[in-house]
Amino acid sequence: SGEIEPMLPMLTAPLTAPLQQKAGLTRVLPAIWGESGVTPIHWKGSGDVPSLARANCFTVSDPEREGYEAGDLIRVLLH
């Protein structure tokens, strides 16, 4: 469509639960945005349609991190 740098609605929010991941990958995972922060949804892989249906946002992890603790700030992509 000619857009050079699309603007995505990216916010930062505290996690309400820990989130573990492998370092070296940017992971975009389903989550639920709420008043106290963002809660990751247990994710079973690309075929986990029920988790995607429950999500109202996605967490976007930093590739340098191996995990996050509850209360850590993480980027959030609204959908």
- Of residues 40 and 7, more confidence is placed in 40
**Average predicted confidence (pLDDT) for the chain:** 91
Taking 90 as the threshold, does the pLDDT of residue 6 lie above it?
no
| pTM listed for this prediction | 0.84
pLDDT 10s digits, 37-65: 999 999 898 889 999 999 999 999 999 99
How many angstroms separate the CA atoms of 38 and 13, rounded? Answer: 6
Quick check: 47 and 2 in contact, CB under 8 A? no
Instruction: Look at residues 8, 13, 10 and name the one whose alpha carbon lies nearest to residue 32.
Output: 13
**What is the number of other CB atoms lying within 10 angstroms of the CB of residue 54?**
12
Residues contacting 53, CB < 8 A, separation 6+ = none
Q: What is the pLDDT of residues 10-28, one digit of tens each?
A: 899 999 999 998 889 899 9
